[in-house]
Structure 1
Amino acid sequence: MNKRRATIVDIAERAGVSPSTVDRVLNSRLPVKGKTADRVLAAARELRYHGINLLAQRVDENRRSVTLGLLLQSRSNPFFRELCEHIHDYAKHDRPECRNIVIEEFKDKTPKAMAASLHELAAKVDVLGVMAFDHPTVNEAVAALTASGKQVVAVLSGLSAPSLAGYVGIDHQKAGRTAGWSLAKLLNRTGKVGMLIESYQYRAFQEREFGLRNYILEHEPEMEVCEGIYGIASNQVVERMFEELLARHPDLKALYFVGAGVAAVLGMVELLPLERRPLIVCHELTPVTRSALLSGSVAVVLDTPRRDLAREIVDQLLDRSLELSSDHRASHVEFRFYCPENI
């Protein structure tokens, strides 16, 4: 007796999807994610489905090829370099819909130049991800691109453009509150906290500062948060900012690096008398901050997992381009908490 032919229900069960999803792949009714379509096709092959040739043809026909674009701060920065490697790796091995990825960095970090760079990259790609200033000129560029049919997703730092398609990154207010909680525990809930803040035009850094201040105001009446010092652009600038902070507040007990720049002052911290060395909380686990944790120069690092972030960036950009998602969506990647005992 001949074995029963495999059905759509059998394929669905083997692929871990619904029969309607298999039907959508087979009859091109609605878009299906590339990974899902590939699972359906693999299950059909395993079951020796009689319509395998037609199913394979449908998958090939429906697999749109998309070019992703990303505008980031600096590809030479260790954090961004590692992130770009994970983005390329994930797209290559897990998202066959991705034809190409164009990753560029801002050469000129003024709002007008950022807006121009957005338009230039948009001409080369199908959908864009960007880490830019939250500024009216940038938001106007996002609105213009959206009106032209090109969707824009904020990466790592949010934008207030109403037409923004989505956001991928950590919850920065939560990170700032976690920094405040950490310092309160380390300082026995008393003492003065300072902040060095990279460009305040990034919404991410505004939210981190807001989170730390709010936590201290709500829970720690014996602690004081100093005024923030802004302007991280080079090692020399960071060193001057740190010297200024120590001069204004000789009784400073802790320091929160809201953005980058911690590497520039580690040597200066180690030269201070032990009683004047501030406890430091910073962001992103790199070879420099890992070493500083081990030496005791840094107390806590709040890290954004690059592999998880890369996956969320690629998935959301592809979903936008393939019209699998239309509403504004925030994909929050959970940050990780590192201290000297768990690295």
Structure 2
Amino acid sequence: MKRPTIPDLANAAGVSVSTVNRVLNQPESVRAPTRERVLGVAKEIGFYGVGTIQHGVSAHRQTHKIGILLLQKGRRFYRNLGETMQAEVAARSNENVDLNLEYLEDLSPERVAERLIAMGNKCEAVALVAAQHPVVANAIDEVMAKGVPVASLIAPLSAQGNVSFIGLDNWKVGRTAAWAFNRIVRKPGKIGILLGNFRYRNQEMNESGFRSYFREHNSEFTLLEPLATYESAAAARELTENLLKEHPDLCGLFVSGGGITGALSALRSSQKRDDFVAVGYELFDETRSALIDGTLTMVISHPMETFARETITTLIKAKKAGADAGAQRVALGFEIHTSENV
């Protein structure tokens, strides 16, 4: 087979020969969508000058400098999320995204605010996971005052400015978890609730939806007061052990926040009961194993690839629109996992 020529590429891409020549020699004179189309077709047909086209197109793509602040890298969920964000950026062939990804080991409001401001000084749009706190809200306003839009991930955040949000509908998450207990538990009893931090608004909404379902559908369950793990696996283990010891009639545990690996260790160390239901949050290696061995009954999780794609897309849109354009809200559909579908 003869190798494709410039006329062949022009015909396949639906453009003129002169347009292909300009893409090769003067890419800045061709509209970006046309350059991208010619590049895509050149790859498909094996055009000999695809490298030249690739170089020209890449050089004239708009670059977006975005920053993302996630929680501790040692936690499997956030490490997976960060890697998925990086993969999403790498897969974007029609734009250059300069991603500044940082993991926060110190989750104090002061440290979060410090890193947010630093990220805002070098990026055009920033997203972060954080607990609601006046110090963090003030930092958000400081960043947005410089024209840099801010979006919250997983947990909604509020400030004087318009803060976008990408995450789950946590009211529905809580009600879905409650539905599972109501449908699976054989005899209503006490349910323990673990939260990561009372200031994470997604977890607060999880609990509200959880309680609202039982008020509406089954008041025979007793929902214990939520206990904060402060995102610590060790604290979650101790709290779970205490719940099992103090409430021998406990029929279930809803882990709505951080530290789930500690709660799983405590459940595995206790006497296994077929009538005990445990619902957790986020799918990763440890929770997958817990579903398989029966320690967890169900896991509600963010759809990772969709989450990453919507985050990058929202930040780019916000950057183009400007900090005063108004908040964007992207509600993701959540995934439900059991031992039968992991």
TM-score normalised according to structure 1 size:
0.80
Partner of 1:15: none
**2:240–2:267: 8 Å Cα contact kept in structure 1?**
no
Equivalent in 244, 249, 259 of residue 261 of structure 1: 259
CA displacement, residues 48-78 of structure 1 (integer Å, 9 cap, x when unaligned): xxxxxxxx9x987974211110111122322
Pairwise CA distance, 1:169: 1.3
Pairwise CA distance, 1:39: 5.2
Pairwise CA distance, 1:313: 0.7
Pairwise CA distance, 1:229: 0.9
**2:68–2:101: 8 Å Cα contact kept in structure 1?**
yes
**1:140–1:161: 8 Å Cα contact kept in structure 2?**
yes
* Distance (Å, rounded) in 2 between the aligned partners of 1:196 and 1:124: 37
Q: For 1:206, give the aligned amino acid.
A: E
Structure 1 pair 236–83 and aligned structure 2 pair: CA distance change class (3 A): closer
**2:232–2:258: 8 Å Cα contact kept in structure 1?**
no
**2:58–2:96: 8 Å Cα contact kept in structure 1?**
no
CA displacement, residues 137-170 of structure 1 (integer Å, 9 cap, x when unaligned): 1111111211110110111111022423411111
Bigger mean CA offset, 276-285 vs 127-136: 276-285
* Distance (Å, rounded) in 2 between the aligned partners of 1:80 and 1:274: 30
Partner of 1:237: 235
Figure out how many residues of one structure are paired with residues of the other and give that number.
312
* Distance (Å, rounded) in 2 between the aligned partners of 1:230 and 1:333: 25
Equivalent in 138, 141, 155 of residue 140 of structure 1: 138
**Stretches of structure 1 lacking an aligned partner (at least 5 in a row):** 1-5, 12-24, 29-33, 47-55
* Distance (Å, rounded) in 2 between the aligned partners of 1:203 and 1:210: 10
Pairwise CA distance, 1:328: 1.5
Bigger mean CA offset, 238-247 vs 170-179: 238-247
* Distance (Å, rounded) in 1 between the aligned partners of 2:276 and 2:121: 48
Q: For 2:113, give the aligned amino acid.
A: A
Pairwise CA distance, 1:235: 3.0
CA displacement, residues 109-143 of structure 1 (integer Å, 9 cap, x when unaligned): 12122111111111121110111111121111111
Partner of 1:292: 290
Structure 1 pair 136–232 and aligned structure 2 pair: CA distance change class (3 A): closer
SS at match of 2:89: helix
**1:64–1:322: 8 Å Cα contact kept in structure 2?**
no
Within-5 A mapping of 1:198-237: 198-237=196-235
* Distance (Å, rounded) in 2 between the aligned partners of 1:271 and 1:108: 30
Q: For 1:203, give the aligned amino acid.
A: R
* Distance (Å, rounded) in 1 between the aligned partners of 2:275 and 2:59: 63
* Distance (Å, rounded) in 1 between the aligned partners of 2:145 and 2:174: 35
Equivalent in 171, 174, 199 of residue 173 of structure 1: 171
Does residue 123 of structure 2 align to residue 125 of structure 1?
yes
SS at match of 2:100: strand
Q: For 2:333, give the aligned amino acid.
A: E
Within-5 A mapping of 1:252-331: 252-275=250-273, 278-323=276-321, 326-331=325-330
Structure 1 pair 305–44 and aligned structure 2 pair: CA distance change class (3 A): closer
Q: For 1:264, give the aligned amino acid.
A: G
Identity %: 26
Does residue 249 of structure 2 align to residue 251 of structure 1?
yes
Equivalent in 61, 73, 76 of residue 75 of structure 1: 73
Bigger mean CA offset, 64-73 vs 275-284: 275-284
